[in-house]
Amino acid sequence: MSSDATELHELRDLLLRKSVRFGEVKLTSGEISDIYVDCKPTTCDPKAMPLIGRIFLQKMNARNWFPEAVGGLIVGAEPIAFAIARESLETPNLINAFIVRKERKAHGMQKLVEGLDPTEGRKVVVIDDVCTKGGSTALAIENVQSAGMKVIGAICLVDREQGATELLGSKFGIALESVFKISELRQESERRANEHVLTSH
């Protein structure tokens, strides 16, 4: 197994252990699902951070996306953007992190994008932890574009495969990459459960 594949397996193991839960839950979109993914216990784990940073960098390189900065909507994207920025220290091209607010602050500089100045004309990739229908990622893209930034792509850690790819493509002409798809996580979780049943008998 290659080092890239090993890191992907390690990150998947952490997600399945810390972030994936089965049972009826209401999603942000309002829909009911039997599987819930809360990425934050994984993305905030020190063991996961270097894996996340390197894997996202690999995804961007594979797409020939070479951004000056990465970031996304507060709060899910923040630890991912920071992990990418940190791991970019090990590459020839440093990548800054930024944070996107849902709406402007009522005081101070009233910025929608924090951590990057100036923003005008900067090439960026928008990050998210979980994409369902794509609404939060779309809001991040709109706010980033309103700050004059050029979005060259988007990547999420987990794609729930419920329309985000189609929304970003049709609304912005932007491709959405993902590290994991919900169907893959479900399949692996079921495989492990069945394996456990067999070995316990």
pLDDT tens digits along 97-126: 999 999 876 665 678 999 999 999 999 999
Residue 26 lies in a domain: yes
Is residue 7 within 8 Å of residue 49, measured between CB atoms?
no
Is residue 28 within 8 Å of residue 173, measured between CB atoms?
no
Question: For the residues 10-27, what does the mean pLDDT come to?
Answer: 91
Q: What is the pLDDT of residue 193?
A: 81
> pLDDT tens for residues 36-62?
999 999 999 999 999 999 999 999 999
Q: What is the pLDDT of residue 106?
A: 65
pTM for this entry = 0.92
> pLDDT tens for residues 71-89?
999 999 999 999 999 999 9
Residue 201 lies in a domain: no
Residue 200 lies in a domain: no
Residue 110 lies in a domain: yes
Whether the bond between 75 and the residue before it is cis, its omega within 30 degrees of 0, is: yes
Domain count, the chain: 1
Q: What is the pLDDT of residue 199?
A: 65
CATH of the domain at 92: 3.40.50.2020
Residue 183 lies in a domain: yes
Residue 25 lies in a domain: yes
Residue 60 lies in a domain: yes
Residue 59 lies in a domain: yes
In Å, what is the CA distance from 77 to each residue of 4, 73, 154, 164? 22, 6, 11, 16
The whole domain housing 101 covers: 3-194
Distance CA(105)–CA(161), nearest Å, equals: 32
